Structure formats: structure tokens, C-alpha cells
Structure 1
Amino acid sequence: MAAVTSPFPSTLYKFPISIHYTSHPPILSHTKMSILPLSIFILLTTTAASLQTLNTNTFVNPKLPPITFTDSKKNEGSSELVNLRYHMGPVLSSPINIYIIWYGKWAPSQKLTIKDFIRSISTTNHRAAPHPSVSDWWKTVTLYTDQTNANISGNILIAGEYSDRKYSHGTHLTRLTVQDVIATSVKSAPFPVDHKNGVYLVLTSGDVTVQDFCRAVCGFHYFTFPSKVGYTLPYAWVGNSGKQCPEVCAYPFAVPGYMGSGGPGSLAPPNGDVGVDGMISVIGHELAELSSNPLVNAWYAGEDPTAPTEIGDLCEGLYGSGGGGGYIGQVMKDGSGRTFNMNGRRGRKFMVQWIWSPVLKACSGPNALD
């Protein structure tokens, strides 16, 4: 945990002061504080031989660490109390093949923005972006290892795409029917069942509702059941919240109505699409957790594997230094006033949440100020 600057001096003084209340002492309550008249009497006594003065001896509690001062800003979400542990399961240490399933109607520009983000992750991409970059952000994810000490891969490839424009399973999906969508896309043979390196990313358009979407989740990851798909395959789902709940899943590009004019207001999305720009951060969140906990038995905090706290959950809502308590942190703006915190390929800019670092034991991002 980063050192905390104390507002109190480390030296404790003993004053010969008597405090006398002319009535009852001050009353503190949850709703108001009532301070009644207060008289303070300071009594100084002298003798012919000496003058009684203030005792300025320093008292130090040997059981407490010394108070230190720091200007470090690396305290976003940091805590020695976060018990993120490795549970001996696999991580995605081999090159990662991502198979995108576009469910519903998608504009070509929306697809291109999302694909540019995913292609910006790979450290082997020859079109490297300037710092701070998406690939710099992924380096925190690659710090996680499996029991053989193999790191999560930095080599990520879009290996295939499938467009389900006819809503093969309707315009409302449950968590289980998301797996049916994967099964349909695999059976349609646009790409193979890649049970060794494959990750399946289901993206639903803005007119598709999904179980718990907007109410409890903006995306999730899990693995398919053999009874559904024929194999156990890691997958993630993320929905476009642009028309349904941008104030929930695309914050800070949209803000809740109750904030009104009293809050900071919404920020301009870096690619001009509130729904898709909001999805980018959720996709990053889910890919990071899917890579570090693909079968829900690798890296997570908490004792319940069915409801784990993962490396993205620990830093949700943090995008820059100083973030926390509803403040996203210090981010950047381009010449058009659009907000971003990292660069991608082909001149793209993105806003992606930070990730928990197992080395720093704090949330970390490439745009950190220290």
C-alpha cells in the first residue's frame, strides 16, 4: 500500500489545559452537529524558583510504522488486503486466436473500430502505436503465469469472423443461448472448433437484449459446455449498450440522469460512437480476465469460483492516475476534445480501464504519471 500523507504531526504535545463546558458537551449525530457555548481556561502557575512551561517531549509508539510522506500517485486501488491468488488452473499462454461472432446488425465502421482495438493488443504487430499504447496496456496482463511459469501470450490474432445477421436465436439471449450462438457459428463452418488456441467473442448489436444486461452486467466470460458446443471453449460476450443503457455500460461517455448538471458531464468518445467506444473497454476487461482465468480456476480473488473477483473487476472505473471514488483519473484529449488514455494502430485512440498488476499490487495502466 502506498504511504498515506497524514494531516496530523508526528509529535504529540501535552498541554496543561482544562476544558470546561458551561453546559452539556457538543452532541454529534448522523444528521447534524450542535455545538454549545464552550469556555477554555488555561491555567499557568509560577513560583519564585521556576516557570512551568509546555512539555514538548516527543512520544513515539514503537508498534506503529514511522509516518512517511510521498508524492507517489501509484495508489489507484492499491491494497495489501486484496487476496488475488492463483488456483493452479491454466492461463492462455499459447498464441491466442480470437473468433468474432457479430450477432445482429453491425455497421462496417463499428466492426472496424473493434477489430482495430483487438489488433492493437498484439506486441508482434508491425504497426506499433506510440506510447501509451494498447499493447503497453496488455503487458500488465502478460505478467500473469501458470504453474509452469509460462506467461499469458502477447500474440493475439483475429483468426476468423462470422456474421449472424438473421438473429438465429432471436433478439433476446440468455447466458445459455449465447452458447447456442457459438454452436451455430461453428456448425456453419466459417471457422473451426479451435479448442487449443481459440477464444470466441460474441458481440451483440444494440437491438439485442441479453439476460442481466444493463442491470447487472455489461459483458461476461465463461467456457462452453460440451453438451452445447461439443467442446469446452473459452468465450466472452459483450453487448452494445448505445441504445439501451449507455450511462451504465458506456460511462463516462454517457452519465446517469440523476447526476444532472451537478456532475462532471459526459466525455466525448475517442471514435465518435458512444456504444462502441463503451464496448471497447468492456472487451478489454473480458479478454484480460478470460486470458488469466479461462476455466475459472486460475487467477481470482475470493473463495467462490462461481462469483470470482478477477483482474479487471479490481480496477473497474479506473482509467488514469489519481482515479478512484467515482473519478476516472487523469486522461487525455485530442485536438477535437475527444477523450482517450491509450493509442492503437492506424492512429486510433481508445479509452480502456486499467488492470490489476500482480507486481505492483495495484491497478496499472500505460498512461500512469509515475
Structure 2
Amino acid sequence: MASVVSTHFVLRLLFALSLFHISLATRKLNELVQNQPNTLMQYHNGPLLSGKIQINLVWYGKFKPSQRAIIADFVTSLTSTQSNSQPSVATWWKTTEKYYHLTKPRKHPSLSLSLGKQILDESYSLGKSLTQKQIVRLASKGDQRNAVNVVLTASDVTVDGFCMSRCGTHGSSKGAQIDGKTYRFAYIWVGNSETQCPGQCAWPFHQPIYGPQSPALIAPNNDVGLDGMVISLAGLLAGTATNPFGNGFYQGPADLPLEAASACPGMYAKGSYPGYPGTSCWTPQRVRATMRMVLMGGSTWFLLCLILRRRLVPLWSEKW
């Protein structure tokens, strides 16, 4: 699917992903702006996501082809070797490999992600107000083995807890029997916040509803809702890879875990704090002049300097 996305700007990806709920349990959005203690990320002896895994996309509601291309291009770019330019989405994603090396003894093969099937439900088969159980039901439409099924809900769809306590979530559920065995499959849900709560779930591409009212940064694809979804999806994928079934890497209580991309909420650059993205790579007046762009499948992603400076990468590391 070719993207017909504006070549203005596009992806400045992942410096806001820890603002949102990125764990298995529900946490209030306003709690995510609080500083968290610098405790160690603990491994709880469970499996990590490993092997060849397909990312299946379940589109619920009306999305334009160009919007679907933004998400598809991002997933493809996670393991792309097409571009030698740095920083890159693939370079950011490789940071998750550190967690696999930390397991003792090392018992997890490497992870290889690829874009799988795309399932369209434009008729709102379950209505426009969904429960968490219905999200799992939608996620089960994708392959349930060697896959992560991502449910993406349109801007006119409400989901229990959306905007009030979360922008997306990930988890796992029992699937159908395959070859006589019942497997658990991992799933992710992300909502389009454009008309419901962009100040909560699409920051910094929209002014936050709390905290300093700094000028919003330009949405890279000129689509505040979809660019916000990319930020949430990126963090949820990191959490799914390193804690797919609730017993992988996380810190804190199991019912309120802080995971790979949510352990350092609101901290993205020098001088950053929740509501303000920082100043080490850019200033609001020079956003256009200082952004670095990477083209992937027609979508242009802004990467800033998040990957060039390891301490700014939104994945927790005890060395940062």
C-alpha cells in the first residue's frame, strides 16, 4: 500500500511515547506526569516475544488509505535495512535487544518483526462504543500464533477508559486451539484521539491539557490523530516485546507495571519535563530547520536526535 502522505514532515517519533499508558494495567493519564523513582527494571522469568513475529493490523472504523499507510510504514520501518541514514526507527528498535541479553541464562532467540495482514472493519460491526472484551474479540480476528494483533480504533469510536485513563494498552488472551494446543496471543489496542482528547494522547503534536502550554510541534504527517497513534503504538510494541504476558521485564507492582517505554515518563531531552519536550535538539522556533527526516514507503518520519543520544531513547536502561 503506497502512502500519499504529505512530504512536509513526518515522524518525529517516539519522544512522547512514555506520556501514555503503555503497560498491561490501567494507569490514570495524570499520574504519568509524575516523576518515577529510579529503580531497577526487573526480569520476572517469563517469556519475551521472540522468533519471527508478524504484526497484524485490525482497522476498526473509517480510516483513509493514507492513514493506514502511516501505521503500516512505521511497522515496516522497525526492521528495515533500506536506509543507511541515522537516526532510524530500526536503530531505535534495536535498543530492545538489550533486554534479551539480560535474561540469564539467555534463553530467548532474537526477535524479527514484519508487517502481516491488514483486516478492515469499516462497518463498525460491534458498534461505536467498545469494551475491553470487545477489543480482545477484535484482536482475535488476526492470526493467533507467532503474531501480535494490533487493533486501531477510529476517531469516532469510544473505548472503555480511552482518554480518561489511557490512550492504548497491550495484553494477552487465550486463542483458539491450534494442533490440539491452546496458545496465548499478544494484542495491542490504540485509539485515534483526534476528536476526543488530542491534548492527552497526541502531545506534543497538540497542546497538553495539563502543565505548560508550550507551542505544539508540527504533526509530521499533518495528521495529529494518526501521528499520536504512532507514538502510542511504538511504546506499546516495546512493552509487548519485553513483557508480552505480564511476567517479563517491568518494575513496580504487577498490576501497575512500568515497562520498557514507560519507566521514564515525560523525559525526552535536556531540560524536558511532562508538557515540555526539551531543548537539546531543537527550539520551538526552529522546529522545521532542525528536524531530521527519514522516508519510508512514502511516509516521512521525524526522528530528531533521540537515537543519536542514547540517554534520550525512550527505552529504560540502567546505564542511561
Q: Compared with structure 1, are the counterparts of its residues 208 and 79 closer, same or farther at alpha carbon in structure 2 (3 Å cutoff)?
A: closer
1:355 is the counterpart of 2:314: yes
1:156 aligns with 2:113: yes
Which residue of structure 2 lines up, in the alignment, with residue 278 of structure 1?
Answer: 228
Q: Deviations over 1:6-31 (max 9, x none)?
A: xxxxxxxxxxxxxxxxxxxxxxxxxx
Partner of 1:207: 156
Partner of 1:311: 260
The verdict on how the C-alpha distance between 1:322 and 1:349 changes in structure 2, with shifts beyond 3 A counting, is same
Moved more, 293-302 or 148-157: 148-157
What is aligned with 1:198? 147
CA 144–250 in structure 1, closer or farther in 2 if over 3 Å, else same:
same
CA distance in 2, matches of 1:341, 1:85: 34
Stretch deviating more after TM superposition (339-348 or 104-113):
339-348
The root-mean-square deviation of aligned C-alpha atoms, in Å, is 3.1
Residue of structure 1 aligned with 2:71, choices 91, 114, 137: 114
Alignment: residue pair count: 272
Higher gyration radius (CA):
1
**% identity of equivalent residues:** 34
Quickly say closer, same or farther: Cα 1:140–1:271, change in 2 above 3 A: same
Contact kept? 1:222, 1:295, Cα under 8 Å: yes
The equivalent residue for 2:99 is: 144
CA contact (8 A) 1:96 1:199 kept: yes
130, 135, 142: which is aligned to 1:178? 135
* Cα distance in structure 1, aligned partners of 2:314 and 2:109: 14
Residue 290 of structure 1: CA displacement? 0.3
Counterpart CA distance in 1 for 2:36 and 2:206 is: 30
Q: Structure 1 stretches of 5 or more lacking a match?
A: 1-76, 187-192, 363-370
Query: Which sections of structure 2, spanning at least 5 residues, go unmatched?
Result: 1-33, 307-311
**1:341 CA displacement:** 6.8
Task: Tell me the TM-score normalised to structure 2 length.
Answer: 0.75
| C-alpha contact (below 8 Å) 1:223/1:295 kept by paired residues | yes
| Partners of 1:128 and 1:256 in 2: CA distance | 33
User: 4+ residue stretches of structure 1 with deviation over 2 A?
Assistant: 77-81, 150-155, 225-231, 256-259, 315-327, 329-347, 350-359
Please give the TM-score of this superposition, normalised by the length of structure 1. Answer: 0.66
Aligned residue number for residue 62 of structure 1 = none
CA deviation after TM superposition for structure 1 residue 224, in Å: 1.4
Alpha-carbon distance between aligned partners in 1 of 2:277 and 2:161, rounded to the nearest angstrom = 25
Aligned to 1:368: none
Q: Is the contact between residue 340 and residue 350 of structure 1 (CA under 8 Å) also seen in structure 2?
A: yes
Q: Secondary structure at the match of 1:309?
A: coil
Going from structure 1 to structure 2, the CA distance change for 1:103 and 1:338 (only over 3 Å counts) comes to farther
Q: Which residue of 2 aligns with 1:243?
A: 195
Mapping for residues 1-370 of structure 1, pairs under 5 Å: 81-122=38-79, 125-128=80-83, 130-145=85-100, 146-150=103-107, 153=110, 155-183=112-140, 185-186=141-142, 193-195=143-145, 197-226=146-175, 231-256=183-208, 263-302=213-252, 304-329=253-278, 330-332=280-282, 337=288, 343=294, 345-346=296-297, 348-350=300-302, 354-360=313-319, 362=320
1:130 deviates by: 1.3
Shift of 1:335: 9.1
Return the letter of the residue paired with 2:187: Y
